[in-house]
Amino acid sequence: MRIRFKLNGREVEAEVEPNTLLLNLLREQFHLTGAKYGCGIGECGACTVLLDGEPILSCLTLAVEVDGREVTTIEGLAGDGELHPLQRAFLEEGAVQCGFCTPGMILTAKALLEENPNPSEDEIREYLKGNLCRCTGYVNIVKAVKKAAEEMAG
């Protein structure tokens, strides 16, 4: 099947099987390997991408579902060599260790800040609970999201 969608701001086309997963489409056909396979059953959040701005689990999403829609991956977040404030805050606050959860974590945080530009620490922790991290204990991640929110608010 042929699908057309917007990927990181660019119109793209792809030939997919009815059972092709979005995660595999992104990683294998478009070589966007920022979205990770962590569990394949929608529990760890490492495969998170944005579909029309909403965080979704690309390991549980069929590629055909994104036909005509807009997908943003971590590779599409930084504009013209400028890091997104979330990316910068994750770096500066030490919120990245092994980095495997980082793309999914940042994209989920981006969706949070669009819904709620000034979240409390508890709201951040609640919103991110579908994204697992085994390295950081989430402390510096929560700090980074808070810092990015402050910076984006100006």
Asked whether position 1 contacts another protein by CB under 8 A, the answer is: no
Neighbours of 63 (CB within 10 A): 25
* Token reading at 131: 């994204």
Distance CA 3, CA 21 (A): 13
Asked whether position 90 contacts another protein by CB under 8 A, the answer is: yes
Asked whether position 34 contacts another protein by CB under 8 A, the answer is: yes
Contact 65, 5 (CB under 8 A): no
Q: Which residue has the tokens 């489409």?
A: 25
Could you tell me the smallest distance in angstroms from the CB atom of residue 28 to another protein?
7
Contact 152, 85 (CB under 8 A): yes
R_g over Cα of the chain: 15
Asked whether position 55 contacts another protein by CB under 8 A, the answer is: no
- # of chain residues touching another protein (CB under 8 A): 61
Cβ proximity to another protein: between 130 and 152 the closer is 130
- Per CB under 8 A, residues contacting another protein are 27-28, 31-41, 43-44, 46, 73-75, 77-78, 83, 87-88, 90-103, 106, 121-122, 124-126, 128-143, 146
